Structure 1
Amino acid sequence: MKYMKRPMILLVPYPAQGHVTPLLKLASCLVTQGFMPVMITPEFIHRQIAPRVDAKDGILCMSIPDGVDEDLPRDFFTIEMTMENTMPVYLERLIRKLDEDGRVVCMVVDLLASWAIKVADHCGVPAAGFWPAMLATYGLISAIPELIRTGLISETGIPEEQRKICFLPCQPELSTEDLPWLIGTFTAKRARFEFWTRTFARAKTLPWILVNSFPEECSDGKLQNQLIYSPGDGPRLLQIGPLIRHAAIRTPSLWEEDFNCLDWLEQQKPCTVVYISFGSWVSPIGEPRVRDLALALEASGRPFIWVLRPNWREGLPVGYLERVSKQGKVVSWAPQMELLQHEAVGCYLTHCGWNSTLEAIQCQKRLLCYPVAGDQFVNCAYIVNVWQIGVRIHGFGQRDLEEGMRKVMEDSEMNKRLSKLNERIMGEEAGLRVMTNITTFTDNLKKHVVN
C-alpha cells in the first residue's frame, strides 16, 4: 500500500504485445521517479498480463471492456472500431474514479491509441504521447501532408508511382510500396491511411511525445535535428529509448513461453543456430511461404528454432515436424530475450519489428531481415543500409535463404559494427542521456503536482 499516496500516471497502450511491452518498461522507470503507474488495457490483455506483474514492481494494472465477443478475432479494423466507439466511455469512468482525490497527474497515450487523447482532454487530465517505434518512422508519417503536396502520394495515401526515394533528409531509400499504411487491399490501405492522418492530427495537440528510440538513429546524427519540432510547431519530442536497458520489470508475454527450447540450445555449438520469429502481431506470412521456409530450413542442414503459432502451421509439409525433430525446434512462443542471449544463436531471421530489433542489438545478434508490414520496412532499411548489422532477403526459396545466411554469417566486420552500435545505444553515456530525458519529463509533471 506504500504506492497508494504517489501521484498517478495512467498509461494507455495500443492493445498488442509490441505496444504493451515498451509501455510497461516505461511504467517501471516511472516508479523510480516517484510515481504510481497505472496500466490500462482491454480485458483480454489485462487477463494475460496482470497475473504476471508482481506487486513489488509498483505498477497497477486495470482493465476496461472493449465490447468485442470473446470468440471474434481482434484484427486491426475490429480494434480500431472498438477504440473509437466503445472504449472511450469506460476509460472516462475509470479516470474519474481514480482521480477523485486529484492524484492523476498525467496520462501517457500510445499514439496508436490516440482515441484516449480526447478522453484525457475531456476529463481535464494532461496527456503526453508515446511513440513505440523509430523516430524516423514518426517523421515519415508526420510528413504525410508534405508527401501529398509534392505529389509523391495521392490524397488517399496511394503512391503516384512505384520507385525508390528518400522520403526525408538523411533517411535511407525506401520503395514507395513500403509506406507503413500500404497493407492489404486497396480499401484497407485507404482505411489505414485515414487512421494515421487522424492519429497525427490528434497528436499535434500534445505538449510532449516520448519516443522509444535513441538520438542519432542515422549514423551521422543529422536525422534527429531534421525531425524534432520546435515548441512552436508542435509537441516536444523526447527520445527515451531503448527502454529495455532501464526497466526493472521482466515484461510478461501474452502467450505461454516454451522454455524447453533453452535446454535444446544447450546441446548446440556456439553461433550455429538460426532463430526465426515474425513477432506477435503480423498476420501469417501465408501457407506457401511457410512451406517454402520450412523446406529451405530443412535443406540448409542448420539447427534452428522457429516460433510458429499453431494457427500458422497449416503450410507445413506433411510429416515435417517429425523429420526435423533432431535438426530444429518449432515452438508456439519462445522466451526471446533468453534465447537471443544464448551463445548458440548465430543469427535471427526477423520481421524487423522495433522491439525485436532493439533486443537483437542488445544481445548483439546478426539479423536476417524479412519485413512484412508497417514500420518494419523502415527498420529494415536502417538495419541493412545504415547500421549494416543484417542482410535482407526477399523470399524463402532454398537459394534465397542459404545465400542470405551465408552473407550474414560470413561478414567478418558485422560483429564489430554490432558491438559499436550496442555501446552507442546501450552504453553508460546513452543510459545517462535516456534518464536525463525521462527526468526532464517527470520534473515537469512534479511541477504540475506542486501547482
Structure 2
Amino acid sequence: MGAARDRVDEKGDANAVTVVLVPFPAQGHVTPMLHLARALAARGVAATVAVPDFIHRRIVKAGGGVELASIPSGIPDGDGADTAPGFATIVQAMERHMPAHLERMLMHDGGLVDGRRAACLVVDVLASWAVPVAARCGVTAVGFWPAMLASYRVVAAIPELIDKGFISEYGIPILANGFNKDQSQVKANIRAEIISLLPAELELSTTYLPWLVGDSVTQKSRFTFWLQTMERAKSLRCILVNSFPGKTTGAVVPDQQHPLQNQQILPVGPLLTNAIHRPKHNNNTNKLQGSPLKTKNTSMSQSDRTCIDWLDQQRPGSVTYVSFGTWVAPIAPAEITELALGLQATGRPFLWVLKDDPSWRAGLPAGYTTESGTVAGGRGRIVTWAPQEDVLAHGAVGCYLTHCGWNSTMEAIRHGVRMLCYPVSGDQFINCAYIVKVWGVGIRLRSTDRGEVEDCVGRIVEGEEGRRLRVKLDELRERVMAGEAVCTAERNIEDFIDGIMYGTERGCTGGLFWD
C-alpha cells in the first residue's frame, strides 16, 4: 500500500486525477463499490463514487477519504428512508435520465470532477448505461463485478447459450421441435454447457440460471436488460472482480474457449478485508480478530442497534441470525409462517431481520411479536434492519440463516459464522452451491417447514456436523481473508493504479484496456 502512495507522490500528479466509480443502485452493489473506492483512496488515489440522488440522500458521506457525487435520476424520494424504487423504475432512470447528467459531470470544465481530471470510469457491469457515456467523453471504462467470478462467467455465456440454441432470446431453456424433443436431454445438454464454465460438483439445475427471476413476464423483461448489459460489456477489456483467486471460486479460467477470452480478469476481493491484519483467534468466541479498516456504515437502511444490547445477554454461539437482504420481499407468507414457527421450535435464541412492511411480514403468526420486536416467549427478537457486520462479529451468533448474497457470504466467512443456506434468486444459488458443496462451510435448508428449520439449526449449532463446518470455515477464512488471496488482491489493485497513473506495462495495462 505504501509503495503505490510513494510512486504517486514522486510523480506529483495524484491530486490532478480521480477515478469515478458508478455502481448499480442497490445495496448489494453500492457497498462493494464503496469498498473498492476506499481501497483506492487508501493507496493515495482520489476516488469519486457517483450514485443516483435517491441513494445519495441516504448515505450522504462515503467515508474512507472517498467523495460521493449525486446524479439526478428523476425518481422522487419515497415516503420513508427504507423505500426503494423497483427494478423497472431504476432501469428507466439509468437509461433515459442519468446518462446526460453523468456526461455533463465528466465534461464540465474540461472533464474535471471536483477539480480533477477523470482518469478512468469504473463501471458496475449491471450499470452498463455508463459505458457509452465514457466512450463519448473519451474516458477509459473498466468493468467491476461485485460478486463471485463464477456467476459472471455464467452470465457472460448468455450470447453463446443463445447461439447454440440452449436458451431462447428471453433466457428460457429451449425444447427443440416443440413436443418431440426429450426435455430431460435438453436440460442435460444445457447443464453440461454450464458445467464447462463451473465445477461439476456444484450440480446446478437449469432452473437456477441467475437471470431466471420472477414469473415468465418478469423474466422476459429482465432478460432484455441482461442482453443489453452483456452487449455493452464486450467493450470492457478489463474487469475488476470482488472475488478471491483460485479454482474454488471460478476465478481460474480453463484453457478451453470461454466468453472471457478477450477480457482481462483481475480478482481484487474480498474487498471488505483489504485492510485487515492476519487473523488471530479469540478462544471464547472463535471470531476473527484483527485491525479492520474503520469506515462509515454505508447501509441505506436505518439499523436498530438495540439488537446488539440483546445479543450481549445471550450465551456464546447460541443465536441464529436470520436475514434475507434488502432488495425485495424474499419468501411467501406461508414460508414466513413456517419459518417463524420453526425458529421458535428450536428452543434457541434468534435475531431475525424483517422489514416492517406487509410484503415482508405477511405470514407472521398473530401475536408473534410485541411492539418492541420481542418474540412471544422471549427467545427471539425481530428488527427492521440490523448492523450486520457488528451482528456477525458478535460472539453470541453461532448460525446465519442467509439468502447467500455475495456480500453476506463474505461477511459470514470473515467473522467465522456457519451458514444455513436458503437461496431465493439470481446468483444466490451459485453462491449456495459453493458454500455447501465446494467449501463445506454451510448446509442447505431445503424448505422453511418448521421441522426442517428446527433440524438444520440444531445440526449447525451443536453436534459433529457443526464442528466439521467450523473446521472448514476456519481453514477457508485463513486462506481467503489473510493468505495469498489478500496478497493477490493487493497486487492487482496496485497494478490497476499503475495503469491509471502512469500507463505502465504491468498488470492490466499490457495492451489490454490502455490500448
Q: Indicate the TM-score class for this superposition, using the shorter chain for normalisation.
A: over 0.9
Of 239-248 and 402-411, deviating more is 402-411
Query: Quick one: which amino acid aligns to residue 427 of structure 1?
Result: A
Counterpart for residue 75 of structure 1: 86
Counterpart for residue 195 of structure 2: 168
Of 16-25 and 185-194, deviating more is 185-194
- The CA distance in 2 between the partners of 1:287 and 1:362, in whole Å, is 32
Q: 9, 15, 22: which is aligned to 2:19? A: 9
- Would the alpha carbon gap of residues 104 and 228 (structure 1) be closer, same or farther in structure 2, given more than 3 Å must change? farther
Q: Map 1:254-265 to 2 at 5 A.
A: 254-265=300-311
Cα deviations across residues 177-220 of structure 1 (Å, max 9, x unaligned)? Answer: 1111111121211222221121111111012110000111527x
Q: 44, 62, 72: which is aligned to 2:69? A: 62
Of 238-247 and 406-415, deviating more is 406-415
Cα deviations across residues 21-75 of structure 1 (Å, max 9, x unaligned)? Answer: 0010111111123211111111110011124x34xx2211110111123349611
- The CA distance in 2 between the partners of 1:149 and 1:89, in whole Å, is 34
Counterpart for residue 381 of structure 2: 329
Q: 241, 253, 275: which is aligned to 1:225? A: 253
1:131 aligns with 2:165: no
1:90 aligns with 2:101: yes
Cα deviations across residues 303-351 of structure 1 (Å, max 9, x unaligned)? Answer: 0000000012232111100353611110011111111111111110000
Q: Map 1:347-366 to 2 at 5 A.
A: 347-366=399-418
Counterpart for residue 240 of structure 1: 268
Determine if contact 1:24/1:251 at 8 Å carries over to the other structure: no
1:231 deviates by: 12
Determine if contact 1:140/1:168 at 8 Å carries over to the other structure: no
- Would the alpha carbon gap of residues 150 and 445 (structure 1) be closer, same or farther in structure 2, given more than 3 Å must change? same
Q: 135, 141, 145: which is aligned to 2:159? A: 145
- Would the alpha carbon gap of residues 309 and 217 (structure 1) be closer, same or farther in structure 2, given more than 3 Å must change? farther
Q: 242, 249, 254: which is aligned to 1:212? A: 242
1:448 deviates by: 4.2
Counterpart for residue 135 of structure 2: 121
Q: Map 1:402-441 to 2 at 5 A.
A: 402-409=454-461, 410=463, 411=465, 412-441=467-496
1:226 deviates by: 2.2
Cα deviations across residues 222-265 of structure 1 (Å, max 9, x unaligned)? Answer: 76132899999422110000001115334411111111111111
Of 185-194 and 65-74, deviating more is 65-74
- Would the alpha carbon gap of residues 282 and 83 (structure 1) be closer, same or farther in structure 2, given more than 3 Å must change? same
- The CA distance in 2 between the partners of 1:321 and 1:406, in whole Å, is 23
Cα deviations across residues 105-144 of structure 1 (Å, max 9, x unaligned)? Answer: 0010001100001101111111100000111001111112
- The CA distance in 1 between the partners of 2:387 and 2:75, in whole Å, is 29
1:384 aligns with 2:436: yes
Query: Quick one: which amino acid aligns to residue 304 of structure 1?
Result: F
Q: Map 1:394-405 to 2 at 5 A.
A: 394-405=446-457
- The CA distance in 2 between the partners of 1:231 and 1:102, in whole Å, is 36
- The CA distance in 1 between the partners of 2:303 and 2:263, in whole Å, is 38
1:301 deviates by: 1.4
Counterpart for residue 447 of structure 1: 502
Between the two proteins, the alignment pairs up a number of residues equal to 445
Query: Quick one: which amino acid aligns to residue 394 of structure 1?
Result: R
Determine if contact 2:42/2:65 at 8 Å carries over to the other structure: no
Q: 204, 227, 230: which is aligned to 1:200? A: 230
SS of residue in 1 equivalent to 2:70: strand
- The CA distance in 2 between the partners of 1:265 and 1:397, in whole Å, is 26
Determine if contact 1:287/1:314 at 8 Å carries over to the other structure: yes
1:297 aligns with 2:297: no
Q: TM-score, normalised by structure 1?
A: 0.93
- The CA distance in 1 between the partners of 2:440 and 2:485, in whole Å, is 20
Query: Quick one: which amino acid aligns to residue 365 of structure 2?
Result: P
Q: TM-score, normalised by structure 2?
A: 0.81
Determine if contact 1:293/1:397 at 8 Å carries over to the other structure: yes
- The CA distance in 2 between the partners of 1:251 and 1:377, in whole Å, is 27
1:318 aligns with 2:342: no
SS of residue in 2 equivalent to 1:225: coil
Q: 306, 321, 332: which is aligned to 1:275? A: 321
- The CA distance in 2 between the partners of 1:310 and 1:387, in whole Å, is 34
1:345 aligns with 2:422: no
Counterpart for residue 218 of structure 2: 188
SS of residue in 1 equivalent to 2:15: coil
Query: Quick one: which amino acid aligns to residue 253 of structure 2?
Result: N
SS of residue in 2 equivalent to 1:218: helix
Of 342-351 and 156-165, deviating more is 156-165
- The CA distance in 1 between the partners of 2:253 and 2:211, in whole Å, is 25
1:295 deviates by: 1.5
- Quote the RMSD (CA, aligned, Å): 2.5
Of 391-400 and 132-141, deviating more is 391-400
- The CA distance in 2 between the partners of 1:251 and 1:387, in whole Å, is 29
- Would the alpha carbon gap of residues 228 and 421 (structure 1) be closer, same or farther in structure 2, given more than 3 Å must change? farther
- The CA distance in 1 between the partners of 2:77 and 2:342, in whole Å, is 37
Q: Tell which structure's C-alpha radius of gyration is larger.
A: 2
- The CA distance in 1 between the partners of 2:367 and 2:258, in whole Å, is 60
1:267 deviates by: 1.2
- The CA distance in 2 between the partners of 1:287 and 1:62, in whole Å, is 39
1:253 aligns with 2:299: yes
Determine if contact 1:3/1:58 at 8 Å carries over to the other structure: no
- The CA distance in 1 between the partners of 2:75 and 2:333, in whole Å, is 28
1:146 deviates by: 2.8
1:284 deviates by: 3.6
Q: 294, 306, 310: which is aligned to 2:352? A: 306
- The CA distance in 1 between the partners of 2:248 and 2:489, in whole Å, is 17
Determine if contact 1:6/1:35 at 8 Å carries over to the other structure: no
1:428 deviates by: 3.8
Determine if contact 2:237/2:262 at 8 Å carries over to the other structure: yes
- Would the alpha carbon gap of residues 231 and 76 (structure 1) be closer, same or farther in structure 2, given more than 3 Å must change? closer
